[in-house]
């Protein structure tokens, strides 16, 4: 059974109660509408908010679907969906106070139900916290809000190498060698801290707009802990 369409007033209530926009921001947009649109629908309001860069297209779609609460994660406002993986989803988000743009890796509900899986996520957090290097995606924070576990990571404005090659073909030799060298530096740094990624591939290497390669997804890392002279035990994350 389909739910009732979102009303204009409910749309405003959703946006303000979840602190996506203030009533003043919404009113400023409404004041700018032509007289013929003075009895707007939720769809019209959302379209105008997107047009004026008050909302992203993703946010407008989520609000229209009645899932506005999912845009609010503590200090962060979700802006867009970046991708999905075995552990959950990754979103582009903005810190409410600092205005910093970040990537949020949100663990799926099914994943969290397993204690082993949750421990795996916590190991990812610890692994990521050990790494600060120009060629590794940085981890800023980890938190839980209303049962939702997420990792706050550096947002990389760019594209993974797999997608880049699929769209434009093989990279020029000099650029390909440069990417390999940068990834190797990041891996060397991680190995010095006893972390092995275990899943290095083009889709886990992000190339930003300045030409820097950053290693993604340390959730597939392996943390080696010494248990005796010359011996290690591996904990798969």
**Residues with active-site annotation:** 199
Between CA 151 and CA 217 the distance in angstroms is 11
Between CA 205 and CA 135 the distance in angstroms is 9
Between CA 174 and CA 37 the distance in angstroms is 56
Strands 101-107 and 88-95: antiparallel
Task: Provide the H-helix boundaries in 75-147.
Answer: 109-112, 115-129
Residues in the chain: 237
34: buried, middle or exposed (CB in 10 Å: 19+, 13-18, 0-12)?
Answer: exposed
Measured at the alpha carbon of residue 130, what is the angle toward residues 140 and 208, in degrees to the nearest 5?
Answer: 55
Give all strands (DSSP E) within the chain, no chain letters.
72-73, 76-84, 88-95, 101-107, 139-145, 148-154, 158-160, 195-196, 205-208, 213-215, 222-228, 231-236
Between CA 90 and CA 78 the distance in angstroms is 10
């Amino acid at each position: 059974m389909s739910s009732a369409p979102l009303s204009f007033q409910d749309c405003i209530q959703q946006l303000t109660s979840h602190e996506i926009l203030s009533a003043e921001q919404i009113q400023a947009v409404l004041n700018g509408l032509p007289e013929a649109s003075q009895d707007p629908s939720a769809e019209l309001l959302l379209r105008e908010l997107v047009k004026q860069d008050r909302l992203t297209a993703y946010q407008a779609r989520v609000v229209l679907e009645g899932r506005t609460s999912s845009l609010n994660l503590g200090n962060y406002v979700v802006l867009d969906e970046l991708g999905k993986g075995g552990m959950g989803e990754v979103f582009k988000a903005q810190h409410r106070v600092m205005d910093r743009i970040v990537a949020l890796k949100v663990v799926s509900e099914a994943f969290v139900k397993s204690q082993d899986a949750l421990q795996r996520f916590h190991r990812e957090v610890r692994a990521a916290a050990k790494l600060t290097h120009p060629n590794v995606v940085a981890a800023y924070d980890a938190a839980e809000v209303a049962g939702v576990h997420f990792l706050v990571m550096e947002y990389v404005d760019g594209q993974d190498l797999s997608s880049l090659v699929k769209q434009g073909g093989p990279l020029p030799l000099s650029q390909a060698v440069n990417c390999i060298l940068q990834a190797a530096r990041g891996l060397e740094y991680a190995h010095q801290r006893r972390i092995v990624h275990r899943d290095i591939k083009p889709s886990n290497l992000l190339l930003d707009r300045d030409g820097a390669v950053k290693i993604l997804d340390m959730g597939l890392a392996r943390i080696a802990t010494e248990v005796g002279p010359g011996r290690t035990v591996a904990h798969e994350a």
